A = this chain, B = another copy of it.
């Protein structure tokens, strides 16, 4: 059960004190308070954890300072979309809004290799009006003997170049808690020229210790990728780990599932789950067509499978696209064969635009029919 308090309630106020005193008498119920500092107001939510089935909603609603009560019917207490749940499905970061109602493209390098490539990439993004990118410094690789990313060494120049070309947010995978500190130091050392979205990769979706640590900080938003060998439910539980520790700025990423039933694609594309995640939770949904498809094959219309996959995700409401580009794919150290070319960027962006407009038309159509139906 979640009690949503009146906005800007002061923890020192009498009503707040009274409320907490009352709640502390509930038997076998633990309390967890979450305070979200917005630009205009501070929201306070109190989570009642334990067997709350016998606690009447009405009684809770009548307590001082309580504005609304949400009975949590699903297991995703924090990230879930419950009955009569009007909690927001968006957050702000670096002046950008990330929500179930927005769309951002994060084109960039799968792995940082040279400073020159980073700069060419950033420049191309700037030239096409983009303010987000992906850049991998820490790369988890199946084999112990493969290139593992340049790590902390590349961070300063990556951040400085981002600042130079107006990039506001870089999605960057972390595989160990120390990476957050390293990112923090590098951002500090370079004067915060850009922002970072921490990415938890598919191999770490159930690395709960990492999730807890990333969830405890609230500075950086988190992109959590679905685990490639677990059910959607299990991956959503992993997102709840992040949220339960305090960080609500979470984007959920679909990237395909591991099974040869998806051949010839590298993974079995799961973008049909875009509307499912949007329905079950309040998280914006990201799609990663590059890793899902894994190659540059194209259909008879000269459209790459990666573009078709992207269009499929976007027309059903995807809010973020993570995609690999490279100025010279044959010299890329990681996943070169699936990278798009810089000269393909405008085509890719226009193709997305068509799909996004189609999505918006579909929403308008559905609204029209829904209104007439319920009128």
Contacts and interface: CB of A to CB of B under 8 A. Distances in A.
Interface of A: 49, 75, 77, 81, 89, 100, 140-145, 175-176, 203-204, 206-210, 227-234, 237, 240-241, 244-245, 257-265, 268-276, 278-279, 292-293, 297-303, 305, 307-309, 311-313, 315-317, 347, 350-351, 354-355, 357-358, 361-363, 365-367, 369-370
A271 B272 contact: yes
Contacts of A140: 206, 208
A347 B367 contact: no
Copies in the complex: 4
Given A260-B259, A347-B369, A354-B358, A229 B232 contact: no
A365 B355 CA distance: 12
A301 B272 contact: no
Contacts of A269: 270, 272
Nearest to A178: B209
Contacts of A312: 271-272, 312-313, 315-316
Given A297-B279, A366-B347, A263 B303 contact: no
Contact of A145 (B244, B278, B311): B244
A77 B258 contact: no
Main secondary structure of the interface of A (DSSP, over half): helix
A240 B206 contact: no
A95 to B, nearest CB: 25
A225 to B, nearest CB: 12
A228 B261 CA distance: 9
Nearest to A314: B315
Contact of A175 (B208, B357, B369): B208
B300 A231 contact: no
B276 A272 contact: no
Nearest to A369: B347
Nearest to A363: B301
B261 A231 contact: yes
Contacts of A207: 175, 203-204, 207, 210
Contacts of A268: 257, 261, 268, 270, 272
B300 A100 contact: yes
B208 A358 contact: no
Q: Which 7 A-B pairs have the closest CB atoms?
A: A229-B229, A269-B272, A203-B206, A358-B358, A275-B299, A260-B260, A312-B312
A234 B234 CA distance: 21
A264 B232 contact: yes
Given A229-B229, A278-B300, A317-B301, A143 B264 contact: no
A265 to B, nearest CB: 6
Contact of A142 (B176, B237, B271, B301): B237
A200 to B, nearest CB: 11
